[in-house]
Amino acid sequence: MGAQLRVYTQKIKSAQTTKKITKAMELIAASRIQKAQARVAASTPFARAITRAVSAVATHSNVDHVLTREHENVTRAAVVIFASDRGLAGAFNSQVIREGLEL
Q: Which carries the bigger pLDDT value, residue 78 or residue 69? A: 78
How far apart are the C-alpha atoms of 21 and 16, rounded to whole Å?
A: 9
How far apart are the C-alpha atoms of 9 and 34, rounded to whole Å?
A: 38
Q: Would you state the pLDDT for residue 26?
A: 94
pTM: 0.51
pLDDT tens per residue, range 18-74: 999 999 999 999 999 999 999 999 999 999 999 999 888 878 878 777 777 778 888
Residues 92-96: what's their mean pLDDT? 88
